[in-house]
């Protein structure tokens, strides 16, 4: 069940000026580095929690429909099914109507009508919109975790030892642990 990023976030949850203020950096010599650290910290938080912070569009590719008609989505929070299609053996596509599909609060997609798949692999594509909205909509705990990671990585730019400065700050784990998407 591969995921393909179609449209990344238009902004980061932590603006460059906010990161520079938190780091107490008054020059702009490190702006490129700080922006890269912000992006890396957001991706780290998203990977660990299974949540997307700022709105993004992802494509989920399936070989077959789930037998019970319930698809457990691998990312959260999904706000919309943007599109769905079947791919034929020649690469042609057939759009699917998704108005009867139900996206529940538990991150599951209920699909009542499951048309025949036209090829044995990667024949189903579902485009998902995921994220909390814009940067201002991201919960504050995630933004603080990103701040902490950026500060840590800015201060310790090279690995020092397996148990030293390259270990992640405990505060980051504490901030994001309650937000992890648990799969049962």
Tens-digit pLDDT profile for residues 11-64: 999 999 999 999 999 999 999 999 999 999 999 999 999 999 999 999 999 999
pLDDT of residue 182: 57
pLDDT of residue 26: 94
Residues in contact with 134: Cβ distance below 8 Å, sequence separation at least 6, in sequence order? 10, 11, 54, 55
123 in the same domain as 62: yes
> Rounded to whole angstroms, what are the CA distances from 14 to 27, 33, 57, 104, 112?
18, 14, 20, 29, 40
pLDDT of residue 184: 47
- Angle at the Cα of 180 from the Cα atoms of 5 and 56, rounded to 5 degrees: 20
At residue 83, does pLDDT exceed 60?
A: yes
Flag whether 43 is in a domain.
yes
175 in the same domain as 143: yes
Flag whether 184 is in a domain.
no
Q: How many independent structural domains does the chain possess? A: 2
120 in the same domain as 64: yes
pLDDT of residue 78: 95
Flag whether 83 is in a domain.
yes
24 in the same domain as 81: no
Tokens 């139900």, residue? 102
124 in the same domain as 73: yes
Closest listed residue to residue 19, CA positions, set 142, 145, 151: 151
What's the pLDDT tens digit per position in 165-180? 556 777 887 787 767 7
| Residue 27: domain span | 3-53+134-179
pLDDT band at 164 (very low <50, low <70, confident <90, very high): low
Taking the CA atoms of residue 163, residue 14, residue 48 and residue 57 in that order, the dihedral angle to the nearest 10 degrees is -150
77 in the same domain as 44: no
- Maximum pairwise Cα distance, the chain: 60
Query: Taking all residues of the chain, what is their mean pLDDT, rounded to a whole number?
Result: 90
Find residue 81's DSSP bridge partners: 128
Q: In angstroms, rounded to a whole number, what is the distance separating the alpha carbons of residues 19 and 151? A: 8
138 in the same domain as 126: no
Cβ atoms < 10 Å from Cβ of 60: 21
pTM: 0.85
Q: In angstroms, rounded to a whole number, what is the distance separating the alpha carbons of residues 6 and 164? A: 37
pLDDT of residue 102: 94
List the CATH number of the domain containing 42: 1.10.3230
Flag whether 173 is in a domain.
yes
Using an 8 Å Cβ cutoff, are 59 and 126 in contact? yes
pLDDT band at 163 (very low <50, low <70, confident <90, very high): low
H helical segments located in 63-169:
140-155
Closest listed residue to residue 14, CA positions, set 128, 99, 134: 134
């Amino acid at each position: 069940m591969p995921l393909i990023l179609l449209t990344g976030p238009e902004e980061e949850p932590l603006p460059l000026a906010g990161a520079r203020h938190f780091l107490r950096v008054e020059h702009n010599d490190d702006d490129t580095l700080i922006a890269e650290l912000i992006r890396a910290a957001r991706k780290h938080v998203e990977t660990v929690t299974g949540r997307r912070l700022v709105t993004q569009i992802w494509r989920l590719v399936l070989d077959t429909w789930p037998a019970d008609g319930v698809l457990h989505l691998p990312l959260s929070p999904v706000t919309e099914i943007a599109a769905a299609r079947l791919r034929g053996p020649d690469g042609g596509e057939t759009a699917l109507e998704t108005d009867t599909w139900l996206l529940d609060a538990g991150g599951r997609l209920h699909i009542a009508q499951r048309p025949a798949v036209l090829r044995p692999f990667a024949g189903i594509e579902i485009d998902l919109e995921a994220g909390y909205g814009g940067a201002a909509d991201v919960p504050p705990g995630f933004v603080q975790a990103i701040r902490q990671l950026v500060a840590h990585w800015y201060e310790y730019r090279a690995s020092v030892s397996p148990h030293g400065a390259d270990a992640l700050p405990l505060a980051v784990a504490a901030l994001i642990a309650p937000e992890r998407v648990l799969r049962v």
